[in-house]
Amino acid sequence: MPVTMTDMQMFVGLGNPGKPYQLSRHNIGFMVLDFLQKKTNLPNFSPYKKWIAEISQQGNCLLVKPQTFMNASGDSVSQIVNFYKLDLSKLYVVHDDLDLELGKYKINFGKGPKVHNGLLSIYDKLGSDQFWHVRVGVDGRGGVRQISPKDYVLMPFSEIEQPVIKETITQVTDELSKLCTN
């Protein structure tokens, strides 16, 4: 039976393309989608140049990793949403959140962090913030704010933080996989 637009669930992981950013806090969206792809046995991600994204799709589940830089994520996301005529209530955007402590996450409809340029780009291109925000906490500074947020999110997780973020990714993936049935 073909998937209709009302059945489609779209999961977008935010991050920056390229090896220098691969393990940065800002790329937690990509990390979660990589785990989700494996957990749900979806096909490997493939580049889709028209949408400037890597895509994995099967059944009602569409995984998207925009290959624009974070601040232009809305370009890729809006093209795909418009192509599929996706109801925004079926859109889940996974992103880093400095408002949440490392190891925490929240899934909120229409509510993201105070400032996140990737989300601002999506809001601008979609004309709405009314979709699911999968907010993954990446703040491991323990209240010490000596490093600017811009620089901090581009840093990798420390050796001590790695087991914490891996457990958080597993928890988020477990929740999202329930929505992604093939």
Catalytic residue, candidates 26, 95, 116, 133:
26
Active-site annotation holds for 133: no
Q: What is the pLDDT of residue 12?
A: 98
Closest CA to 61 of 106, 31, 91: 91
Say which CATH class 9-177 falls into.
Answer: alpha beta
Secondary structure (3-state) at 135: strand
User: Assign residue 151 a region: left if phi > 0, alpha if psi is -120 to 50, beta otherwise?
Assistant: alpha
What pTM does this model have?
A: 0.93
- Give per-residue pLDDT as tens, 117-174: 899 999 999 999 999 999 999 988 776 777 888 888 999 999 999 999 999 999 999 9
- Residue 156 DSSP code: B
pLDDT in tens, 79-125: 999 999 999 999 999 999 998 999 999 999 998 777 788 999 999 99
Q: What is the largest CA-CA distance in the chain?
A: 55
Residues 6+ apart with CB under 8 A from 11: 33, 36, 61, 62, 63, 64, 92, 94, 176, 180
Helices (H) and strands (E) in the chain, counts: 5, 7
Sign of CA pseudo-dihedral 114, 120, 126, 132? negative
- Domain ranges for the chain, please list them: 9-177
